[in-house]
């Protein structure tokens, strides 16, 4: 019976084990209270940063957007292009960018506002007004993702004088293994007080020479002095003047300003010197300035495109409203005839005219929404709130004067003024300088060094005693040192030569390949800019011809509607011919203003492609003012240099790597208004531009080719006033100016022509 009981419990235990399976179990703790607030079941959570930054008033004060249901509360804001440019520059610490294709050329009709998307601001890719200053103050460790390398000030700091001070005190107490005769004169326990102090001023010269002046002082007293020395404690001090000058590798101002100082200690430790000298730091700053200029240029391009796109949406809306109103008038007449049962008033004609009206009505609603969207797009570029109770309306009319560019002049100008080419040339210059520094490493390291030392020793470091012997009673170390009785010097040379120069040869080859690659990139970039400029000039001629053609089409379509309307009223043609004529008139009106807008944008595109867009918009870049103390110090330094004696650097003088400031204005280049060629290395002063000075152009009717380049318009942004008018004197405006509507009605779906007429203001 006992055996059966054991078998039974064994089966129970096996069943429980199989049911539980192989899974871990938590241990049991006697003092557990159940508080597991410190337990975390995830590694990371999505959290919100503890940052409180004030928002712009344009964000906090934004009103609801204008829509088809929200068109009641707003006033018209007639805005000129010059005002838009000025406001944009004032509100653009961050250069806003508009995504989507460029609004220029014949394909612009396909680029509706719905397809234009904005690019969210990125802290790395975006251009800001702080970028040049950030580059100038980069130390090499901060902003590594956006600004690699060091800034100019950080590179210059390698040549700053350095003050180093070290002081230490030691207490030693240790047994000594002494025996025999030595035990008679020395204590078996060595006890010592040891103090050391070093003060040094070191300086690196521009040619790589190291200078140092240092003072070393030591205090020593120990148990062995009692039996072996004249004094129980001694002070020793010395002054050293040290220099170390590279003669081959690392020598010369040119190398040190390119690569930065490469000391003999770095060479002995096999530390590779990264090429990050003051010259390369300055080139990095110039490239950042080029990026900043490119950001401002792109911003001005977006302003022009958004402004003229908004102008077109107004004109396009007017054309759509004209088609809607004519369709409504036709529907009214046909509906009246249909109700009276008169000839020409059949049911199919009434339905056809009604369908035509609602088709134009839908186009008006779409055009009004496109207008609101284009206006918001311009607001975004200008840095304004999304809606503030005003509706921007362009006050400038696009020019209809024929603009002709001299190809040889603008082609040469594009190869000089384009910021991308200038930035790439700076990259090539940087590669050339790096190759010079890399070839310097093919030389062996040979340094000449020397040290001169004045020594002193005594019972005290400084005191009033005047004992002649260094270790006499009352002697002091500085008194002995100034006596000049103990002087030492050392002169020597260090030589080091890597067998094979494998790393150095690889570095030279790397920089040769990098230079060849950047030169190839520059050539391809010049080719690309040449093609872009050619496309832009082609678009100018195309859009000008399209403007003339579409103007004639517009006039012909207007006359067609008048003629067809008269024939229709006489009952000699069908309704569909009249409706088609009305539709073609609306399309011709829109096509004319589309081509006129494209023509002005294509002129802007030529200036963009040849690098004169900022000059064309009257925008010039300059560094902001410094603090008043900086001007005072700079004047003192200039006066100090004026009173100094000139020293020729001789063979150590670095080569020229810059050709001077880049001229931002092209008013004095080539023939009048032509935008001639400016050659690098021979900058010419810019001609002054006076506010309000008109540009005299020949009348188009005289058959002369009108040349309009960089002096089309100039704006005095500092004074905040507009300058020369955009429509130039002596130029006829084809088609004249048409006033924009002051507001737009909100309409519902009407089923009768009278209700639609009442809503439309008939």
Backbone phi and psi for residue 444, each to the nearest 5 degrees, phi listed first: -70, 160
Q: Tell me: pLDDT of 10 over 80.
A: no
Q: What is the mean pLDDT of residues 268-279?
A: 74
pLDDT of residue 199: 94
pLDDT of residue 23: 67
Residues 280, 173: Cα–Cα separation, whole Å: 55
Residues 607, 601: Cα–Cα separation, whole Å: 10
Q: Residue 65 is encoded by which pair of tokens?
A: 């957007």
Question: Please, are residues 592 and 553 in contact by the beta-carbon 8 Å criterion?
Answer: yes
State whether the Cα torsion 612-616-621-622 is positive or negative. Answer: positive
Instruction: Give domain limits for the chain.
Output: 166-271+445-496
- Which tens digit of pLDDT belongs to each residue from 533-558? 999 999 999 999 999 999 999 999 99
Q: What is the mean pLDDT of residues 185-204?
A: 86
Q: What is the mean pLDDT of residues 649-676?
A: 55
Q: Tell me: pLDDT of 242 over 90.
A: yes
- Which tens digit of pLDDT belongs to each residue from 684-712? 333 333 333 333 333 333 333 333 333 33
Q: Tell me: pLDDT of 245 over 80.
A: yes
Q: Tell me: pLDDT of 305 over 70.
A: yes
Residue positions counted in the chain:
762
Lowest mean pLDDT among 247-256, 381-390, 462-471, 723-732: 723-732
Centroid of chain to Cα 206: 32
Q: What is the mean pLDDT of residues 90-99?
A: 83
Lowest mean pLDDT among 369-373, 419-423, 746-750, 753-757: 746-750
Question: Please, are residues 353 and 331 in contact by the beta-carbon 8 Å criterion?
Answer: yes
* pLDDT, greater one: 591 or 682: 591
- Listed in order, strand segments (DSSP E) in 558-643 are none
* pLDDT, greater one: 244 or 233: 244
DSSP state of 690: -
pLDDT of residue 323: 86
For the chain, the average pLDDT equals 77
Q: Tell me: pLDDT of 290 over 80.
A: yes
- Which tens digit of pLDDT belongs to each residue from 27-71? 878 888 878 877 777 887 888 888 888 888 888 788 888 888 887
Residue 653 neighbours by CB distance under 10 Å: 12
- Which tens digit of pLDDT belongs to each residue from 432-458? 999 999 999 999 999 999 999 999 888
Residue 423 neighbours by CB distance under 10 Å: 18
Q: What is the mean pLDDT of residues 731-749?
A: 33
Q: Report the share of the chain in percent with pLDDT over 90.
A: 35
DSSP state of 137: T
Residues 164, 654: Cα–Cα separation, whole Å: 31
Q: What is the mean pLDDT of residues 718-725?
A: 31
Residues 241, 201: Cα–Cα separation, whole Å: 10
């Amino acid at each position: 019976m006992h055996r059966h009981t054991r078998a039974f419990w064994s089966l129970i235990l096996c069943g429980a084990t199989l049911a539980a399976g192989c899974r871990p179990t938590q241990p049991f703790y006697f003092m557990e209270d159940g508080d597991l607030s410190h337990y975390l079941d995830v590694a990371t959570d999505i959290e919100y940063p503890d940052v409180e930054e004030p928002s712009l008033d344009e964000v906090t004060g934004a009103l609801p957007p204008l829509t088809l249901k929200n068109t009641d509360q707003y006033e018209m804001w007639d805005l000129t292009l010059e005002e838009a440019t000025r406001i944009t520059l004032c509100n653009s610490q961050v250069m806003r960018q508009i995504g989507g294709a460029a609004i220029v050329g014949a394909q612009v009709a396909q680029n509706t506002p719905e397809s234009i998307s904005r690019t969210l601001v990125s802290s790395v890719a975006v251009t800001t007004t702080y970028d040049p200053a950030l580059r100038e103050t980069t130390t090499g460790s901060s902003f590594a993702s956006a600004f690699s390398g060091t800034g100019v000030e950080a590179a210059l700091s390698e040549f700053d004088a350095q003050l180093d001070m070290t002081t230490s005190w030691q207490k030693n107490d240790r047994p000594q293994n002494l025996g025999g005769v030595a035990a008679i004169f020395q204590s078996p326990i060595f006890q010592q007080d040891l103090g050391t102090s070093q003060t040094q001023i070191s300086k690196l010269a521009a040619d790589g020479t190291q200078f140092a002046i240092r003072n070393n002082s030591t205090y020593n007293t120990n148990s062995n002095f009692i039996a072996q020395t004249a004094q129980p404690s001694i002070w020793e001090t010395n002054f050293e003047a040290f220099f170390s000058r590279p003669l081959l590798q690392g020598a010369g101002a040119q190398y040190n300003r390119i690569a930065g100082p490469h000391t003999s200690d770095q060479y002995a430790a096999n530390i590779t010197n990264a090429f990050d000298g003051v010259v390369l730091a300055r080139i990095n700053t110039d490239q950042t300035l080029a990026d900043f200029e490119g950001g401002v240029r792109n911003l001005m391009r977006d302003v022009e495109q958004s402004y003229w796109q908004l102008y077109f949406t107004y004109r396009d809306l007017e054309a759509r409203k004209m088609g809607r109103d004519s369709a409504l008038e036709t529907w009214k007449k046909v509906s009246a005839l249909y109700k009276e049962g008169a000839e020409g008033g059949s049911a199919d004609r009434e339905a056809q005219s009604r369908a035509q009206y609602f088709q134009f009505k839908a186009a008006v609603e779409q055009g009004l929404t496109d207008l609101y969207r284009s206006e918001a797009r311009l607001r975004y570029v200008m840095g304004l709130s999304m809606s503030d109770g005003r509706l921007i309306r362009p006050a400038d009319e696009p020019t209809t004067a024929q603009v002709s560019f001299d190809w040889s002049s603008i082609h040469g100008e594009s190869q000089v003024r384009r910021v991308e080419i200038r930035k790439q040339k700076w990259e090539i210059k940087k590669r050339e300088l790096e190759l010079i520094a890399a070839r310097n490493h093919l030389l062996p390291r040979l340094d000449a060094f020397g040290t001169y030392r004045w020594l002193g020793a005594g019972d005290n470091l400084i005191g009033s005693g005047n004992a002649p012997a260094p270790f006499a009673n009352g002697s002091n170390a500085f008194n002995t040192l100034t006596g000049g009785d103990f002087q030492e010097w050392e002169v020597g040379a260090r030589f080091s030569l890597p067998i094979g120069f494998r790393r150095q040869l690889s570095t030279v080859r790397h920089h040769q390949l990098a230079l060849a690659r950047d030169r190839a990139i520059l050539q391809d970039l010049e080719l690309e800019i040449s093609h872009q400029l050619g496309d832009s000039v082609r678009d100018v001629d195309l859009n000008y011809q399209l403007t003339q053609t579409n103007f004639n089409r517009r006039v012909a379509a207007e006359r067609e509607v008048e003629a067809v309307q008269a024939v229709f009223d006489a009952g000699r043609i069908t309704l569909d011919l009249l409706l088609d004529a009305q539709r073609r008139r609306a399309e011709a009106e829109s096509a004319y203003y589309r081509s006129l807008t494209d023509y002005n944008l294509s002129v802007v595109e030529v200036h963009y492609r040849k690098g004169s867009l900022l000059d064309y918009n009257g925008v010039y870049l300059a560094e902001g003012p410094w603090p008043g103390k900086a001007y005072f110090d700079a004047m003192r330094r200039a006066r100090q240099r004026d009173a100094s004696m000139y020293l020729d650097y001789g063979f150590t003088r670095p080569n020229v790597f810059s050709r001077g400031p880049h001229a931002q204005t092209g008013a004095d280049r080539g023939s009048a208004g032509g935008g001639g060629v400016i050659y690098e290395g021979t900058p010419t002063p810019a001609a002054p531009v006076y506010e309000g000075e008109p540009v005299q152009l020949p009348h188009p009717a005289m058959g002369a080719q009108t040349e309009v380049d960089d002096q089309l318009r100039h704006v005095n942004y500092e004074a905040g006033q507009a300058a020369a008018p955009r429509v130039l004197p002596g130029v006829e405006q084809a088609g004249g100016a048409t006033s924009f509507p002051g507001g737009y009605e909100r309409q519902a779906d009407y089923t009768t022509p009278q209700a639609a007429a009442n809503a439309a203001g008939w």
